[in-house]
Amino acid sequence: MRGNPEVIDYLNMLIGGELAARDQYLIHSRMYEDWGLAKIFERIDHEMQEEAAHADSIIRRVLFLEGTPNMNRDDIETGEDVITCLKADLKLEYHVREKLAIGVKLCEEKGDYVTRDMLRQQMSDTEEDHTYWLEKQIRLIELIGLQNYIQSQM
């Protein structure tokens, strides 16, 4: 099925963001594991797998629309400690959410409702799961202190 070229181009841009999110979560999860923070490692590793699934869905959609997926990922921001990792991941999620919202609007304008619905689902994952959880972790650190938070993640 021949897709709208603007939608295909936009999806290709989104692939780069999802691949960056995957790789950023990958490095951060491995850092947490190395630091002995098993609970946060498990959560961030799970987020990495979800970002890979998001990228996979978009890649499959581009192929279905007879486009060629662009596998160039966006830049990542690697944290140096728990707080900078969490803040970098939250910044990335805010960026991805903004780009998904624009993609939903574009798909609506171009009449590609299947792609729109796929992006809406990814936006829901971003807002209701990833972003909310990261915001909650940062609030917990503010409430109980970094050392107590770190201890709770062991």
Task: State yes or no: 108 annotated in a binding site.
Answer: no
58 phi and psi angles, rounded to 5 deg: -70, -40
DSSP string computed for 59-122 = HHHHHHTT-----PPPP----SSHHHHHHHHHHHHHHHHHHHHHHHHHHHHHT-HHHHHHHHHH
Query: Which residues, 6 or more positions from 75, have their beta carbon under 8 angstroms from its beta carbon?
Result: 20
Q: What is the mean pLDDT of residues 10-26?
A: 97
Structure tokens at 81: 């400690």
Average pLDDT over residues 18-28: 97
pLDDT at 45: 98
User: Does the pLDDT value for residue 127 go beyond 90?
Assistant: no
Round to whole Å and give the CA distance between 134 and 145. Answer: 16
Domain boundaries 5-152, CATH class: mainly alpha
Q: Rounded to two decimals, what is the model's pTM?
A: 0.94
User: pLDDT per residue over 136-146, tens digit each?
Assistant: 999 999 999 99
93 is in an annotated binding site: yes
Share of the chain above pLDDT 90, in %: 96
Residue appearing with tokens 């002995």 = 36
50 CA to centre of own chain: 8
pLDDT of 38 reads 98
Q: Over 90: is that where the pLDDT of 1 sits?
A: no
CA nearest neighbour of 62 among 98, 100, 14? 14
pLDDT (average), residues 88-113: 97
pLDDT for res 126: 87
**Is there a binding annotation on residue 95?**
no
Average pLDDT over residues 40-64: 97
Question: Is 128 part of any known ligand binding site?
Answer: no
pLDDT of residue 49: 97
Q: Please, are residues 36 and 6 in contact by the beta-carbon 8 Å criterion?
A: no
CB-CB contact of 98 with 123 (8 Å): no
Query: Which pLDDT does position 150 carry in this prediction?
Result: 98
Residue 6 annotated as lining a ligand binding site: no
Does 54 belong to an annotated binding site?
A: yes
pLDDT(53) > 90: yes
Pick from 32-36, 66-70, 128-132: least confident: 128-132
**Sign (positive/negative) of CA torsion 26, 27, 33, 37?**
negative
47 is annotated as contributing to ligand binding: no
